[in-house]
Structure 1
Amino acid sequence: MRRYLNILFLVVGFAVAACSVEEKTHAEGETEYTCPMHPQVVKSEPGSCPICGMDLVPKAVQGEGVELTEDLAFLLKPTNTTVVSNIAMIKPVQKTVEATVQLDGIITYDPRRVYSVPARVSGRIEKLFIKYNFQQIRKGQKLMEVYSPDLITAQKELLYLVQSAPEDKQLIVAARQKLQYLGATTDQINRLIRTGEESYTFALYSPYDGYVVDLNASAPAARASAATAPAASAGGGMDAMGGSNAATTPAASSTPAGQAIQLREGMYVTTGQPLLRVVNVAQLWAEFTIPPGKMQSLAKGSPVVISFPQVPGEKLKANIDFLQPFFDEGENFAKARVYLPGNMKAAMVGQLVSGQATYSTDTALWVPSVAVLDIGTKTVAFIKRNGVFEPVAVTTGTDVGSKIQITVGLTQADTIAANAQFLVDSESFIKVRN
């Protein structure tokens, strides 16, 4: 019995010694490491969490929880105190801005300086000295030589009166005037009287300076009259001409009436038929097309700086002289006309030019262009209210450089985000109350 008691005391002694050793070991203990996200992971040495890969942190011996480190401190802050980014804010500015409009145009001639040269007599073109369109001519330059029975008859009448009845001044003046109406010049009439011989080909001279355009003649409705009338008004020599004219009438009349045909030597023309047009380029226009959104901005007198691409560095300061609105295919636009000085050597008809028109906008609110956001159906800006940004619909006007005009939606007292794009990500949906 005594031996059993000794064995029991021995076992109890060993147990007490073991507990004391365990407590001592635990007190002195080894540091344990755990995962901040997965507390079930506990290791006796530093390492990585096998679940999420985070670094293990020391575990408190007394069970006070995870030790806070500098890397984990920000996770325990309230969300309303966390600053993700610092967004700049601005206020709309009310002012007047100098704006510019880029214009594209073309040099054209003044239609008030376009002159028509008609045929004053019927006849055949014997020689044509104007060969192509846009050929430059001068006043008094010979255009063509025409064989006309009417002119021959008028010359003979004047010579008969001068030689047979020189005392009848009134008839002589009437005969001279008739020749002038048929296109004869004073020099031609004086030379006729001096030589006493009529000319069977009569030269026609240009009454204008400029460039030839539309060197065409509209085909008359009937050529027979041009063939028969001269034959009736002339003598035997005119009958031969009339026969020749009659022979060519079928070929000439094959051209449809009213169709434009280019002048050629040997063609027959009738009285009043337009032969060509002369453009006087002493005054030219620069005609610009105004974009639809800028029609209301420009007005007569707005300054324009014209550039000539063919002549680098050549610029001309002018003003808009005339505005003409157009409506074509459901679109409104306008053309601006600028008069150019006659001594502009860089300006030629048909030349492409560019212009830059300037104007002053009305007093309005202006913000940076990046402060507004186009979401398709609306344009919005972000107003800061009660510490948060709220989208509001705005109406924009003219944009000048990096600034844009706000007509509706904001006031000078509003504070908005300087960059509206920064507040929107690819998955956001902006809900605008207004």
Structure 2
Amino acid sequence: MDNMTHQPPRIASTTVLGLFGGVVVTLLAIAGWWTPSDRRMATAGGMEGSGGMANMSGMQGMDMSGGNMAGMKVDMGAKDLGQASVTLSPTRRQAIGVRTGVVERRPFETTIRAVGAVAYDERRVRQVNLRVAGWVTNLAVNYTGQFVRAGEPLLTIYSPELAATQAEYRLARRTQARVGQSPLEPIRSGADAQVQAAAERLRRFNVSDEQIEALENSESRPETTLVAPISGVVTKKMALQGAYATPEMPLYEIADLSTVWVNAQVYERELPLVALGQEAEVTLATYPNEILRGRVAFIDPVLAPETRTTRVRMELPNPDLRLKPGMYGDVIIRVRAAPVLAVPREAVLDSGTRTLAFLDRGEGRFEPREIKTGRTFDGYTEVIEGLQTGDKVVTSGTFLIDSESKLMAATNMMGALGMGGVRMEQAQMGEMEMGAADHPSTQTVDGLTLTIETLPAPPKKGENAVRVTVRANNAPVTDAAVTVAYTMAMPGMEVETVKASHTKDGVYEAEVDLSMRGAWTIDATVTRPNAKPVTAHVTVQVEE
């Protein structure tokens, strides 16, 4: 065993070197750097045909045009995608949990849920102002929240300007009466014009025609009454008893609550599904057992940058004024559209630049297919291009299949670049010349002899023990720190590391979880005081 000093297992030299060389060549070819002169240099250097890479240890007779890795076969379908079709054995399909679904036309029905709040109908809000300046002498409506009916008095003001205009009107009427029988038309016309001008000024001061007519038979009244323009609830009251008010000052704000709005905040990703006229259901926290029904009446054209939501408005009748602005509740918008071609959402792989699904071609063969998707609804994604009714697609295990597809496409590219002497069918995981440890494996590295074995041997799927015996100059080593790292040689598989405990006479043991069938690589690393770490490698085949 001494001749094994400093020699890692053959998997480290053959597989890693072969894959590394393939990746480098692939990148050079893609970038346009693998020129005919480079190819001639490779030929001269013995890297083509039966020499070079093909003569490397453990790689004779290997062919990259097809392969079988741990129950996987691959062909170069979908070359334009940079991925290859993958064939899985029944055991592998069961191990990674492959499930499939059918592409079919489904009714487009989904539900949008959002938080909503009751608000005033802005079209039914009125602000009350004076037309003439004066002092408030009486407040008929003197608190916020008071209900008023249209035409009811709000307040009374005393206005010297109004009194003067009323006096002008009375004087114009008397003048008109005195000159009414004058034979001179200009005089009669002038008197009529003065009456009309005075009456018009009174109308601008919000004096009704009835009140103007009454001035003919009564004295001037320096006070005027302001009335409610609509029926509703006083939401703001700025008028104060005895205050001087001017036309630009708002005195009241009145809202008609017979109809209210419910504003829901809908996320931008759901906006394409919302349309005017859609049915909506509102459930308020105040009335949890009551469903209020309405329709979408407005979609805000502006998105709120803080919440990435848009306001969607429903209108609800409120004849008994039970719905009060500020109430919160839940809004459900029912979306119904024509049937669309759809796949389960889990079948879609979106990389950001393209979208893929894996077709089930039967007998364990899965082909990558680029697709164009549309809307997502109730666990399904709309398919616009790339699939048709009746296709079977992978819905579980897609990530692992996608990873293997990319890896296999890269290895097949190596064969296309002149490395056709490599035959991947001999590269089955667990069947390569990797020193499979169904019995103890002993290696000597930097003066240390390491014996690695599993309990039981061969190991079974699940919990196993790894025993590492460390000796130096045929004497047990008891002062070392030993760690055991184990993984499966497949994309996406992480390396697990555990610390081994010293039991006796240079024997260290660690518990490992070999969770699935296939080939597992185990590395034992020994670190002694004031010495560099030493690592030995072994590959074991896990059975059921």
1:226-305 to 2 correspondences below 5 Å = 262-271=238-247, 273-305=249-281
Measured after TM superposition, the shift of residue 107 of structure 1 is 2.4
Report what 2:330 is aligned to.
354
Q: 1:125 to 1:430 in 2, by over 3 A?
A: farther
The Cα of 1:148 is off from its aligned counterpart by: 0.9
* 1:206-217 correspondence to structure 2 within 5 Å: 206-215=228-237
Pairwise CA RMSD: 4.1
Who is 2:127 aligned against? 116
Q: Check the 8 A contact 1:94/1:364 in 2, yes or no.
A: yes
* 1:41 match: none
- Equivalent position SS for 1:325: coil
Contact 2:374/2:384, CA 8 A, preserved across alignment: yes
Name the % identity.
Answer: 25
Q: Say which SS state the counterpart of residue 83 (structure 1) adopts.
A: helix
Mapped contact 2:99–2:394 kept (Cα < 8 A) = yes
Paired residue for 1:311? Answer: 287
CA distance in 1, matches of 2:178, 2:258: 47
Q: Deviations over 1:106-157 (max 9, x none)?
A: 2223333232322111112233344444432222222222121022224445
1:26 matched residue in structure 2: none
CA change 1:165–1:416 in 2 (3 A) is: closer
SS at match of 1:398: strand
CA gap of 1:337–1:200, structure 2 versus 1, over 3 A, is same
Name the structure 2 match of 1:431: 406
Is 1:410 the equivalent of 2:421? no
Deviation, 1:377, is 7.3
Cα separation, 2, equivalents of 1:166 and 1:279: 46
Counterpart residue number, 2:297: 321
Choose the corresponding residue for 1:398, options 340, 364, 375.
375
Show the 5 A alignment for 1:379-390.
380-385=356-361, 387-390=364-367
Distance 1:129 1:82, change over 3 A: closer
Residue 152, structure 1, aligned to residue 163, structure 2:
yes
2:226 to 204, 210, 218: 204
Question: Scaled by the length of structure 1, what TM-score is found?
Answer: 0.57
Deviations 1:365-403 (A, max 9, x none): 323334445678776543334623355555544333333
Query: Cα 1:395–1:346, aligned 2, differ >3 Å: closer, same or farther?
Result: farther
Q: Secondary structure at the match of 1:431?
A: helix
**CA deviation after TM superposition for structure 1 residue 102, in Å:** 1.5
Unaligned runs of 5+ in 2: 1-69, 73-88, 181-191, 411-544
Report SS of the residue matched to 1:296. Answer: helix
State the secondary structure of the residue aligned to 1:347.
Answer: coil
Maintained 8 Å contact 2:281/2:294: yes
The amino acid across from 2:266 in the alignment is: I
Contact 1:325 1:333 in 2 (8 A): no
8 Å CA contact retained: 2:99, 2:397 = no
Cα pair distance change 1:399/1:153, threshold 3 Å: same
Determine helix, strand or coil for the equivalent of 2:301. Answer: strand
Task: Report the CA distance shift for 1:405/1:91 in structure 2 as closer, same or farther (over 3 A).
Answer: same
Letter in 2 for 1:412: T
Match of 1:182 in 2: 205
Q: 1:345 to 1:429 in 2, by over 3 A?
A: farther
Counterpart pick for 1:95 among 106, 113, 138: 106
Instruction: Map Cα deviations across residues 173-218 of structure 1 (whole Å, 9 max, x no partner).
Output: 8766654442345676677666x45445433222321223444xxx
Comparing 81-90 with 93-102, greater Cα deviation is found at 81-90
TM-score normalized by the length of structure 2: 0.47
Can you list the C-alpha shifts for 1:336-373, whole angstroms capped at 9, x where unaligned?
33222242644222322332222234543323334445
Matched, 1:138 2:149: yes
- Secondary structure of 2:123's counterpart equals helix
Structure 1 counterpart of 2:490: none
Q: Could you say if the C-alpha distance between residues 355 and 176 of structure 1 is closer, same or farther in structure 2, counting changes exceeding 3 Å?
A: same
**Structure 1 residue runs without a partner (length 5+):** 1-77, 216-261
> Which whole-Å CA distance do the structure 1 matches of 2:176 and 2:301 have between them?
65
Residues 420, 155 of structure 1: alpha-carbon distance in 2 compared, 3 angstrom cutoff:
same
CA distance, structure 1, for counterparts of residue 125 and residue 321 of structure 2: 20
On the 8 A contact 1:382/1:420 being kept in 2, the answer is no
Larger Rg over CA atoms: 1
Shift of 1:311: 0.8
Task: Give the deviation of 1:165 after TM superposition.
Answer: 8.2
Contact 1:106 1:353 in 2 (8 A): yes
* CA pair 393-200 structure 1, distance change in 2 beyond 3 A: same
Measure the CA separation in 1 of the matches of 2:357 and 2:108: 21
